[in-house]
Amino acid sequence: MKNLFAVAALVSLAACTPNDAQQTALQCDVSLIVLGVAQDAGKPQIGNPDDPAWDDPSLRRLASSLALIDRRGENPKRWLFDATPDIKFQLHNLNESAPTDKPAFVNGVFLTHAHIGHYAGLMMFGHEAAGAQNVQVFAMPRMAAFLSSNGPWSQLLTYHNIFAAIMEDGAPEQLANGISVTPFLVPHRQEFSEVVGFHIQGPEKSALYLPDIDSWDKWDVEGTRIEDMIAGVDHAYLDATFFSGDELPGRDMSKVPHPTVSHSMARFEPLSPQEKAKVHFIHMNHTNPLHNPNAPQREVVHKSGFDIADEGDEICL
């Protein structure tokens, strides 16, 4: 794994200039790049004026997203996982590592669900912004119905800025030779749509993208063990919204259920070192101490054998 760009270069809202680290980017034929690691609202989060990230661009983080890149051929093909409110910055940085002749274009967007950090960025494909044409948006049936029944998303469909490709639980979407993406349902708040994660298969390796889930235990009851999912891939990007259960004083955290990083590490302790090394924690709330590069919790995670996703990380598939 190699980091493609410094955090400061990625997340500064004032400038998104590539640095020297980008020149040493991995040049695999097919790869995944981390475009964001924060919970839906990013970091700093609105209404939190004391966050030092307001004054220090190096501490800013974009909402969680991955990019799948196929460099085989004259013009790279690119697919996004989730369309975040930070999509314009994320596409800018993606263009630095996988440039195309249409900087605002992607071959497709895979949506996990209808919480703001995962679909709101679609609006940037509209005629007020990119004016895109026929961007393929992969969505589950309820998610697609939500987009078609509610503005401004419905206008994107009417104007053919995007078109919906309806996915089916467990059915692979074949994107290119040796590349497929398979959605799988997960238990999480479903106010407007289903919630899915993705199994991303490349020509040589595979990855799991699962930014939101209520709990591993609830999935157990439904007949799926996260340990089995990890065993079936080479890399697993997993929900790390909260490090512990005391990050939202005065709020009932049962209303925002997620497996804490502490709980996940305890549960995964019996795994082999090789299995632990597959885990990359992602989708961290602005309160999560793992955002702080000097936080002792980061050392705990790494010493326990796990990884913390960073913006610019790239893995070959």
95-130: pLDDT as tens digits = 988 888 887 789 999 999 888 898 999 999 998 988
For residue 238, list its beta bridge partners: 210, 281
Task: Please give the model's pTM, rounded to 2 decimal places.
Answer: 0.89
Comparing CA positions, the residue from 144, 156, 143, 150 lying closest to residue 192 is 143
The CATH-assigned architecture of domain 2-316 is 4-Layer Sandwich (3.60)
Q: What is the 3-state secondary structure (H, E, C) of 246-293?
A: CCCCCCCHHHCCCCCHHHHHHHHCCCCHHHHCCEEEECECCCCHHHCC
Domain spans of the chain, in order of start? 2-316
pLDDT at 13 over 50: no
Angle between helices 296-303 and 261-268 (to 10 degrees): 20
38-77: pLDDT as tens digits = 998 999 999 999 999 999 999 999 999 999 999 998 888 9
Question: Look-up: residue for tokens 């549960």?
Answer: 267
How far is the CA of 98 from the CAs of 25, 91, 175, 212, 289, in angstroms?
Answer: 10, 10, 17, 27, 31
Q: Judge residue 95's burial from the number of C-beta atoms within 10 Å of its C-beta, 0-12 exposed, 13-18 middle, 19 or more buried.
A: middle
Burial 227-254 (b: 16+ CB within 10 A, else e): eebbeebbbbbbbbbbbeeebeeeeeee
239-295: pLDDT as tens digits = 898 888 676 666 665 666 778 999 999 999 999 999 999 999 999 999 999 999 999
